[in-house]
Amino acid sequence: DAMVIQNPRYQVTQFGKPVTLSCSQTLNHNVMYWYQQKSSQAPKLLFHYYDKDFNNEADTPDNFQSRRPNTSFCFLDIRSPGLGDAAMYLCATSLGAGANVLTFGAGSRLTVL
Amino acid sequence: AQTVTQSQPEMSVQEAETVTLSCTYDTSESNYYLFWYKQPPSRQMILVIRQEAYKQQNATENRFSVNFQKAAKSFSLKISDSQLGDTAMYFCAFMGFYNQGGKLIFGQGTELSVKP
């Protein structure tokens, strides 16, 4: 049973054309994260939501934004994708303050042409 | 700032044998969590094993065990009786005890191939 579902699994976009990636979860976890994983690199946290509170990492480019309309869904918007934004984007969730175990989705692989 | 280093980009092991993946980390904190995550090809990342830094006993999960050396800041993963399904990218990761927004700091990963 998939508990953190990411769509689409593969996304191809053109340079500068906005793209939205989605994440849904059936775990009722209150914390949701977006990580960026470039080829042969470690995943890197972009931002996270603690309930409705948005927390941006200091080095996350302004080109990346996120929305969380309800507990179950979270979106990653890339306003003007560049070639350097091609990566796997991982959504993860966790439960409660101090939670240290994250549940990951299968990822969305973004290709920028 | 915390860092995690995995010095073995690729490893291979014969089925049924034992393999050890290395990880070192750097932190000034005394309490924290360490993890090994497994990412099979085109599949989701899943937790393999977790270690709390305040526990001296090494964590074990079936065929997976760790060697946690706090003073040396070393956290290696031993896989016994390797199976074909263990083929995956393995990430070592660090999280501060006070969660810091659930920020996992990952190493670069070790790609493990289990050969029949």
State the pLDDT at residue A109: 96
User: Residue B42 is encoded by which pair of tokens?
Assistant: 């085109």
State the pLDDT at residue B79: 98
Return all residues near A112 (Cβ < 8 A) that are at least 6 apart: A12, A13, A14, A15, A81, A82, A83, A85, A86
Chain A residues 69-98 within an 8 A CB cutoff of chain B: 90, 92, 94, 97-98
Distances from the Cα of A72 to the Cα of A21, A82, B102, angstroms = 14, 29, 18
Query: What average pLDDT does this structure show over B81-86?
Result: 96
State the pLDDT at residue B101: 62
Beta-bridged to residue A59, according to DSSP, are none
- To the nearest whole Å, the CA of A39 is away from the closest chain B CA by 10
Q: How many domains does chain A have?
A: 1
pLDDT tens across A10-41, in order? 999 999 999 999 999 999 998 999 999 998 88
Share above pLDDT 90 across residues of chain B, in percent, rounded to a whole number? 77
State the pLDDT at residue A66: 96
CATH number at residue A34: 2.60.40.10
* Annotated domain spans of chain B: 3-115
Share above pLDDT 90 across residues of chain A, in percent, rounded to a whole number? 82
Is pLDDT of A97 > 70?
Answer: no
Of B42, B45, B108, which has the smallest distance from its Cβ to A41's Cβ? B108
Q: Classify domain B3-115 at the CATH superfamily level.
A: Immunoglobulins (2.60.40.10)
Q: How far apart are CA A88 and CA A76, in angstroms?
A: 12
Contact (CB, 8 A) for B99 and B29:
no
- To the nearest whole Å, the CA of A88 is away from the closest chain B CA by 10
A44 is in which domain, residue-wise? 4-112
pLDDT tens across A34-44, in order? 999 998 888 99
DSSP string, A21-76: EEEEESS--SEEEEEEE-TTS--EEEEEEETTEEEE-TT--TTEEEEEEETTEEEE
